[in-house]
Chains A and B, each alone.
Chain A
Amino acid sequence: MQTHKAKRVEITIEGVMQSRLTDALKKAGVTGYTVLPVLGGSGKSGEWSRAGQVSRASGMVQVICIIRPERLDGLLEGAFAVVERHIGVVSVTDCDVLRAERF
């Protein structure tokens, strides 16, 4: 089956920054993304878990978007302006998609 090269960008960020990040993605022309809740983890700021948090300040989400390679730089610039000073991880991986016109 014919597949097409694309970039998969995963941004794990604090829940309070979610809407700011997705707004920045839209401004960068990225209209398709998926937001997933993050159950817990461990990193530079220590171990944490979503269970029992009373404040949404403590929650994390993961925003995933798959885009054409030529749009990557614009996305990263927009996203970095939002996530630069916050706890989180940004990663980019190569992937293949079936329907290129959707990205």
Chain B
Amino acid sequence: MENLFSLAADNLVSPIILSFVLGVAASLARSDLSIPEAAAKALSIYLLFAIGFKGGVSVAAHGIDARLGLALLAGIILSAALPLVAFGLLRVMTAMSRLDAAAVAAHYGSISIVTFVAATSVLESRGIAAEGYMVAVAAAMEAPAILSALWLVARGGGGDSKGMDGALMREIMLNGSIVLLVGAFLIGWATGEEGLAEISSFIVSPFKGVLCLFLLDMGLVAGRGLRQGGGILTPSVLAFGVLMPLIGAAAGLATALALGLTPGGVTLMMVLSASASYIAVPAAMRVALPEANPSLYLTLSLGVTFPFNLTLGIPLYVAVAQAVTGG
């Protein structure tokens, strides 16, 4: 417990979290502070490339084992199954329609790559090693949740669903984030430590500074979302936004322990299962379920679950992973 409080305190006063808090505060105070759209995109490209590359280098250094395939499979199953749990919870806890509940549920099966990047940064700063292939698991967990949500809607009549056509599937599987993450992972894997040495001054040293700026922007967006969509956050909806990541993290913990992952790997599996998407899934929902309320799912995933995971969730998951693995 002492470890948990120490981790949480360290995390809360880190430059990364304080940058996020600054963004939220500035946005809530209606400051005109903003990160230009192109700059924010460049920052996200940098972070995805760096995290993918470093994951690939780690796999090159430590080799691959059967766990990689099993971890990928487990990630896909978690992504597909968690929306079913989220959907059931939403229908019991809130007054959301079936359509809105399915759309929200899809976000909680998929992942937030920024939360994953922030967790990786915390693990690195604490010297906790993690399996490099967790980057590939993150990519594999993006899409299955969307299929589960569409199935939930179809099961309830399906009149509101446009379903999954080939174009939508291609957009989801080949969205820029996944292509960059997996591509950088493969480059890192192919070039290994030598490749990393060549570009480490670019992708290692500036990493945390860039992450701070990116989280400043995320804070601005989250604050704006809370300001504009805060009205939809009833106590029960808000409770779901905090409860569901804990349920997801517990499922991720059980899965990671069954796979025999390292403490870092356990933490990242918990983070992936606990996080909610706000990039790939909202775009897919706008195409497939246009009648679902975007304010609901964006405010929940970006305004509630993302800040929760970033500030309290990550240190909690690290502490639990260390406690149960003895790491």
Q: Which A residues have a C-beta under 8 Å from some C-beta of B?
A: 14, 16-17, 19-20, 45-58, 85-87
Contact = CB atoms under 8 A, between A and B. Distances in A.
B283 interface: yes
Interface residues of B, number: 25
Interface of B: 34-35, 37, 40, 162, 167, 217-218, 220-221, 224, 228, 278-279, 282-283, 285-287, 290-291, 294-295, 298, 302
A46 B282 contact: no
Nearest to B114: A54
Contact of A46 (B162, B224, B295): B295
Given A14-B286, A16-B287, A55 B279 contact: yes
Contacts of A50: 37
Nearest to A52: B221
Contacts of B228: 46-48
B287 A17 contact: yes
6 contacts: A14-B286, A17-B287, A53-B221, A57-B282, A57-B298, A85-B291
Contacts of A55: 278-279, 282-283, 298
Contacts of B217: 52, 54
A54 B283 contact: no
Given A16-B283, A46-B228, A52 B40 contact: yes
B294 A57 contact: yes
B294 A58 contact: yes
B191 to A, nearest CB: 30
Contacts, number: 58
Contacts of A45: 294-295
A44 to B, nearest CB: 12
Prevailing SS type, chain B contact patch: helix
Given A16-B283, A57-B294, A58-B282, 16 more contacts: A16-B287, A17-B287, A19-B167, A20-B167, A45-B294, A47-B228, A48-B228, A52-B40, A53-B221, A54-B217, A54-B218, A54-B279, A56-B279, A57-B298, A85-B162, A85-B290
A17 B283 CA distance: 9
Contact of B35 (A48, A52, A86): A52
A101 to B, nearest CB: 33
A76 to B, nearest CB: 19
B286 A16 contact: yes
In order of increasing CB-CB distance, the 6 nearest A-B pairs are A57-B282, A57-B283, A55-B282, A57-B286, A85-B290, A52-B221
A54 B290 contact: no
A88 B34 CA distance: 26
Given A47-B228, A85-B291, A54 B221 contact: yes
Contact of B290 (A19, A49, A86): A86
